[in-house]
Amino acid sequence: MKTIREIAEEIGVTKQAVFYRISKPPLSLALQSLVTKENGILMIPFDAEILIKQAFNMPVIVKKPSKGSEKIAMLCNVTDGLLAQLRQKDRQIAELTTIIKTLSKAKFQKRKKPVKQKQTRPKIEKLLNQK
């Protein structure tokens, strides 16, 4: 088990950055049952350490096998798949947004110019002048 400070040093960030990252969802939810507090210090088990390092996009070097490593590997694979799907959806949204903007612009340009109202004043003046 390691402390937040030890993990922060390995990653190359401040302990505040690590604490901030682990206190926000979804990482906080994943670590909820793993992290323990001993003498007022958060202790991070190996499984949680892997999740934290992945949150900082750090390569994880497995030094010792653990019983939860299979679950973590599975979760990593699922997460990678979901990230790929999310990137694809972002591209699709960007494409659709571009199409919508193009269609809206074309529709705006095709709008008919407003019909000018007939000028009735000259006709009225003409009638008045005839009397």
Q: Please report the DSSP string for the chain in residue order.
A: -EEHHHHHHHHTS-HHHHHHHHTSTTHHHHHTTT-EEETTEEEE-HHHHHHHHHHTTPPP---S--TTHHHHHHHHHHHHHHHHHHHHHHHHHHHHHHHHHHHHHHHHHHSPPPPPPP--HHHHHHHHHH-
Least confident of 48-57, 68-77, 120-129: 120-129
pLDDT given for residue 93 in this prediction: 93
pTM above 0.75, yes or no: no
- Span 20-47, mean pLDDT? 88
- Taking a C-beta distance cutoff of 8 angstroms, is the pair 41, 35 a contact? no
